[in-house]
Structure 1
């Protein structure tokens, strides 16, 4: 474990402890002004993400910010590292909620902040609960909260794009929200490619592609929206 790894662990531990009063305040604020509570929470989380990247020595090149629509959108990205979430959350203006594995919902402090920014916890083993999560995501999009999902369902171990799960874009379809392809390269070099829980300085490129709506795709492609997004990401990765 490197000094950077230790610093990250210590930073997160004390942040979760010392921000307990703020989490409680935001939970109460949600009852009267949910949008304001969300904006404040997103600002907190983005600040943490940027601090973590700075501690890690990570530099980010961001492309395609002009492709991000003014309305709430579903960001769909490739996934090869834990740091994908940190990089994506730091790069999207105004922040974003994530569709995460359900086990993260059991971590005290962390799960509370995730809920404040409208993250959803997906139970991959229960189809009924999975459908409910998709419906909740659609409601968040309708309410104006952008979401992010990694359709491969798990981290790629070799950097290659895996299969995009067909139902992963359903929330955008139900909400009639735009989908923004997101291509991320270089995050595995921060952590996963290093032995012994080592975090090392790296350069990451994140690109936002042209948004699209499933309803506007040709009839032959509407059932394969996941493949449409996957191809767009593959094209961007080839250009990075």
Structure 2
């Protein structure tokens, strides 16, 4: 419980102190948008690293060299914890927007940082608005910004090593842009917080970055069903890595 309270306190102080930083970042962006994007990325990554430090989590990372450099990609992964975002975002080397649920847009200050960092807010209950979000993500990728999305559509609260069905809409981002899809497989992240809510527990997690897959290199039938194809990759990886936890 002590770690949980420390994280809440840190987050509140961080967001309040970031108010003048928004203004500085806005000024930087008026002169050099790329410089602002990079500085905003590093500021948020620093905050996330501090939170992870408080949790006491230890991380084994496999295959990070698989992530292509100097080109935008679509990251997809399984999703069991709020900490999945922190764990993966701290490892982003370049501009990367995450697709988050629409409700997060209502959180003051946090949503401002998210918009600075090209995050998108998906309305899971309105297909028309959901498609607009996917189209915006496609636009971002075409402009050199990577996108990370969790194709299960929500946090999976089921048994460890299970997956909810991946949604096909997530993969239109890669299919329409030709960018690589990089699978991210996460093991044991729910053990940090969700398994014993509201307590935070020191734990060990495993993150594996799979080899990039370009949809154009797949056969026609597989390309029609990208969701189960990548779900199988993630399922096989988390099953294999379970012994490393």
Matched, 1:220 2:229: no
Query: In structure 2, what is the equivalent of residue 169 of structure 1?
Result: 171
Query: In structure 1, what is the equivalent of residue 58 of structure 2?
Result: 59
Query: In structure 2, what is the equivalent of residue 203 of structure 1?
Result: 204
- 1:115-140 residue CA offsets vs partner (Å, 9 max, x unmatched): 11110000111222111111111111
Identify if the C-alpha distance between structure 1 residues 96 and 217 changes in structure 2 by more than 3 Å, giving closer, same or farther. Answer: same
Bigger mean CA deviation after superposition, 202-211 or 84-93? 84-93
Structure 2 gaps of 5+ residues are none
TM-score (norm 2): 0.93
Matched, 1:74 2:74: yes
Measured in 1, the distance between the counterparts of 2:206 and 2:92 equals: 13
Identify if the C-alpha distance between structure 1 residues 151 and 15 changes in structure 2 by more than 3 Å, giving closer, same or farther. Answer: same
Query: In structure 2, what is the equivalent of residue 6 of structure 1?
Result: 5
Matched, 1:27 2:26: yes
In the alignment, is the contact (CA less than 8 A) between 1:62 and 1:206 conserved in 2?
yes
Measured in 1, the distance between the counterparts of 2:115 and 2:100 equals: 11
Give matches, 1:77-226, under 5 Å: 77-94=77-94, 96-158=96-158, 159=160, 160-195=162-197, 197-226=198-227
Bigger mean CA deviation after superposition, 126-135 or 7-16? 126-135
Structure 1 gaps of 5+ residues are none
How far apart are 1:9 and its partner, in Å? 0.2
Query: In structure 1, what is the equivalent of residue 42 of structure 2?
Result: 43
TM-score (norm 1): 0.95
The secondary structure found in structure 2 opposite 1:200 is: coil
- 1:147-201 residue CA offsets vs partner (Å, 9 max, x unmatched): 1100000111123111001101111222211110000011110001004x11111
In the alignment, is the contact (CA less than 8 A) between 1:43 and 1:94 conserved in 2?
no
The secondary structure found in structure 1 opposite 2:196 is: coil
Aligned residues: 238
How far apart are 1:214 and its partner, in Å? 1.5
